[in-house]
Amino acid sequence: MQIYEELVARGLIAQVTNEEEIKKMVNEGKAVFYIGFDPTADSLHVGHFMALCLMKRLQMAGNRPIALIGGGTGMIGDPSGRSDMRTMMTPEIIQHNCDCFKKQMSRFIDFSEGKAMMVNNAEWLLGLNYIEFLREVGPHFSVNNMLRAECYKQRMEKGLSFLEFNYMIMQSYDFYELFQRYGCNMQFGGDDQWSNMLGGTELIRRKLGKDAHAMTITLLLNSEGKKMGKTQSGAVWLDPEKTTPFDFYQYWRNVADADVLKCLRMLTFLPIEQIDEMDHWEGSQLNTAKEILAYELTKLVHGEEEADKAQEGARALFSAGGSTENMPSCELADEDFKDGSIDILSILHKSGLSASRSEARRNVEQGGVSVDGEAVKDVKAVYTRSQFEGEGMVFKRGKKKFVKVVVK
Total length of the chain: 408
Q: What torsion, rounded to 10 degrees, do the Cα atoms 247, 249, 254, 258 define?
A: 140
Pairing between β-strand 186-190 and β-strand 32-37 as defined by DSSP bridges: parallel
387 is in an annotated binding site: no
171 is in an annotated binding site: yes
Instruction: State the Cα–Cα distance between residues 113 and 346, nearest whole angstrom.
Output: 54
Neighbours of 174 (CB within 10 A): 25
Helix pair angle (304-318, 245-253), 10° resolution: 60
230 is in an annotated binding site: yes
24 is in an annotated binding site: no
Q: Identify each DSSP E strand in 345-392 by its residue range.
A: 369-371, 374-375, 382-384
Instruction: State the Cα–Cα distance between residues 191 and 223, nearest whole angstrom.
Output: 17
Instruction: State the Cα–Cα distance between residues 63 and 55, nearest whole angstrom.
Output: 9
CA–CA distances in Å: residue 12 to residues 36, 189, 226: 17, 11, 17
Can you list the alpha helix ranges (DSSP code H) found in 150-228?
A: 150-153, 162-165, 167-182, 194-208
Instruction: State the Cα–Cα distance between residues 89 and 77, nearest whole angstrom.
Output: 10
Residue 114 pairs in a beta bridge with: none
**Which residues belong to the annotated binding site for L-tyrosine?**
34, 167, 171
**Which residues belong to the annotated binding site?**
34, 167, 171, 230
**Which residues belong to the annotated binding site for ATP?**
230
